[in-house]
Amino acid sequence: MSAVGVAIPHESATLHVTGAALYTEDLAGRTRDLLYAHPVQVPHAHARITAVRTAPALAVPGVARVLTAADVPGINDAGVKHDEPLFPDEVMFFGHAVCWVLAETPEAARLGAAAVEVDAEALPSCVTLAEAIGAGSFQGATPRVVRGDVEAGLAEAAHVFSGVLEFAGQEHFYLETQCALALVDEAGQVFVQSSTQHPSETQEIVAHVLGRASHEVTVQCLRMGGGFGGKEMQPHGFAAIAALGATLTGRPVLIRLTRTQDLTMTGKRHGFHVDWRVGFDADGRLRALDATLTSDGGWSLDLSEPVLARALCHVDNAYWLPHVRLAGRIARTHKTSSTAFRGFGGPQGMMVIEDILGRCAPLLGIDAIELRRRNFYQPGQDTPYGQPVRHAERLDRLWQQVLDSGGVAERQQRIAAFNAAHPHTKRALALTPVKFGISFNFTAFNQAGALVHVYKDGSVLVNHGGTEMGQGLHTKMLQVAATTLGIPLSRVRLAPTRTDKVPNTSATAASSGADLNGGAVRHACMQIRDRLTAVAAEMLGGGDVHIVDGVARRPGAADGIAWDELVRAAYFQRVQLFAAGYYRTEGLHWDASVMRGSPFKYFAYGAAAAEVEVDGFTGAYRIRRVDIVHDVGDSLSPLIDIGQIEGGFVQGAGWLTLEDLRWDTGTGPARGRLSTQGASTYKLPSLFDMPEEFHVTLLSDATEDGVVHGSKAVGEPPLMLAFCVREALRQAAAAFGPDGISLDLASPATPEAVFWAVERARTGAGPVAAVPQTLRPAPEPAGETVRHG
């Protein structure tokens, strides 16, 4: 029986719920002579460091050493763009660490850090995206995606609208904060346990900082307590600090950020500012789109350039745009460096077109569900960057299945009746689609390796380059290995991800973990299986032999050779029982200089409907029901995939409706300080924010050719299904006003934002003109601390 496609629990589920699962910090309790590291953070948004006096810290009992730039034997930088000094002489965000204290206890390290004296000269700062745009503060590339003639398309359009869209970033808020544990062995080999999505790059940065070659540094990721992209680039510097401390003191060093430190020192999802113009024909079909997307990159480039590129490649979402001109740029602000977050720019790009359609549907006099469907890609069409849209017909199939299974038509009638009878409470139902490209935009990253061992007793150990952060990648790799070898799942075990087992790995990101590492694991297992079937054929007297359910036999034969017996026989015949597997995604090509090509292996599709209810007195709302149909190809592990869809959707809803990052934008000494420094001020989705009814269905008959077992990625695409919640809130708020009103809704659409949207709807003087001049976002309430776009 194949293990692939079977609904099994996460391989560490029992360990998770019983508290037995080990994370990086848990290993500290098993480590002797440990030192703890604590940062010295400077309370300025932008400042020049004129002096650092460490002597007072060394006088604190228990303090062993203070690490400064003078201690770095290699390169004082933790970024792949060489723009992130590990020990900076210029503070670039409020809370930037300039040195680190090592001590015998966490409390001694904290007291030592408080004793360090730092002199800083305050410098001008740009805290908001608007300030950076006004000051011309930009960094990195300025990509453009162009197709057709936008000006001609707009001139020919029957309806032309323009507007501005601003939306905020998002905090990762993984349960396990950034953590690294480093030690040095008797040969000088550096070993780092790191909570990282990218062990190979962590290894590379640690080696650069220490002035060593990569083969002198080993990085292991046991597991992560969540990542969401926040541990793709950001763990490197913390691992380097721990490794530097360990090499200088000869003792193990642990860095584990507190929640406040993690929130104030690490990057978030990129917020964006978008100016746009759009044209529709008389039937409501998109004719032209002209947009400029400005992302908030924070103080350094980090991954802002590829995030912006992916955003531009996803502005189209599921819709055909004959004429399009998209320009991108990255603002430099004095905040933590914006970084990867689930979707990696895709959600921000899709937000543009979904917001446009939601705002323009009433002005066109077309139901939003019909307007979206009318503009879907059709077979034979390609994206603005030139990639053919394969399986475009799945969009209509998904859409119709949601309409039918969700009883949308009947519910819309009930909603209309409810709204007519309730002047102070309104309901609405919205549908949105997803088309998300799967692969790294940077072609070279689309490769993976694996190392599979079969021991003499028949047990199997799998090493691969992907990391486990709770998403179920290891579970799927176990299923791929067991299925390929033809043995029970219980015979296979996975080893922690280590750079000395599988080198030069890509980050577990871009939703490509199962595609890439599954291909590599399968390749390694196929080599071993072919060797063993050759041995079995000889033992059985020739003919084709297959290994099924742990027995090698000829087709139709009753007798066979048990797996354990076959492995022992192969060993005594000196047959190799281990193999290195490798996989590279074929068919990709991308020219970043002109933003043209086919950067994605395939597109993952989905559709979702959300019904909400809004209280007109407070703006409070609840999600009454959600129906999702999502395309995962032939699922490798249905239980894992459904969990990913549910979790991704809720995280997307949090970004769009709840999670409100705020900084102090005043002129006082706290300028640039993150105001939302904990779960008390930064609202995360909870059990009470879950849909009251939540239906998730995997699309059937959706095999994807050319990938492991016909499966598709599932990590990121479901997050973007949550646009239906925001669009339903927009429609519910608009229901308080006259028919045909075009209503802007702030993002995140918090209850406060929904309340003000309801107020604007109520004060509407009547239906909005069919051809408005400009659609503009509503002004923020006055105050020193404002939402950052």
d(CA 453, CA 462): 6
Angle at 463 between CA 457 and CA 465, to 5 degrees: 170
Residues 6+ apart with CB under 8 A from 340: 229, 230, 232, 233, 303, 307, 509
For residue 386, the SS3 value is coil
pLDDT tens string 338-350: 999 999 999 999 9
Contact 70, 85 (CB under 8 A): no
Whether 782 shows a pLDDT value over 80: the answer reads no
Q: How many residues does the chain have?
A: 789
- Residue 138's alpha-carbon distances to 85, 131, 298, 593, 681, in angstroms, are 19, 11, 10, 19, 30
Please give the structure tokens belonging to residue 152.
């001609």
Residue 548's nearest CA partner among 565, 537, 561, 531 is: 561
Q: What is the pLDDT of residue 556?
A: 87
Q: Percent of the chain beyond pLDDT 70?
A: 97
Phi, then psi, of 290 in degrees rounded to 5: -125, 120
Please give the structure tokens belonging to residue 400.
């119709």
Phi, then psi, of 570 in degrees rounded to 5: -65, -40
Whether 768 shows a pLDDT value over 60: the answer reads no
Residue 203's nearest CA partner among 214, 187, 193, 189 is: 214
Q: Percent of the chain beyond pLDDT 90?
A: 95
State yes or no: is 692 an active-site residue: no
Encode 163-180: b = buried (16+ Cβ within 10 Å), e = exposed.
Answer: bebbbbbbbbbbebbbbb
Answering whether pTM is above 0.85, one says yes
Partners of 295 in beta bridges? 272, 330
Q: What is the pLDDT of residue 783?
A: 31
pLDDT tens string 188-218: 999 999 999 999 999 999 999 999 999 999 9
* CA max distance for the chain: 88
- The contacts found for 541-547 with CB under 8 angstroms, 24 or more apart, are 546/486, 547/485, 547/486, 547/487
Residue 460's nearest CA partner among 471, 469, 451 is: 451
d(CA 656, CA 711): 29
Whether 33 shows a pLDDT value over 60: the answer reads yes
Average pLDDT, the chain: 95
d(CA 358, CA 367): 10
Give the dihedral of Cα atoms 606, 611, 614, 619; nearest 10 deg. -10
Q: What is the pLDDT of residue 88?
A: 98
- Residue 187's alpha-carbon distances to 16, 289, 502, 539, in angstroms, are 36, 61, 22, 47
Residues 6+ apart with CB under 8 A from 489: 3, 8, 478, 479, 482
- Residue 40's alpha-carbon distances to 78, 117, 242, 260, in angstroms, are 17, 9, 15, 14
Q: What is the pLDDT of residue 775?
A: 55
d(CA 703, CA 411): 32
Residues 6+ apart with CB under 8 A from 374: 283, 284, 285, 366
Whether 766 shows a pLDDT value over 70: the answer reads no
Q: What is the mean pLDDT of residues 238-261?
A: 98
Whether 659 shows a pLDDT value over 80: the answer reads yes
What is the amino acid identity at position 307? V
Give the dihedral of Cα atoms 470, 348, 85, 90; nearest 10 deg. -130
Q: Which of 176, 716, 727, 752 is catalytic?
A: 716
Residues 6+ apart with CB under 8 A from 216: 188, 189, 190, 207, 210
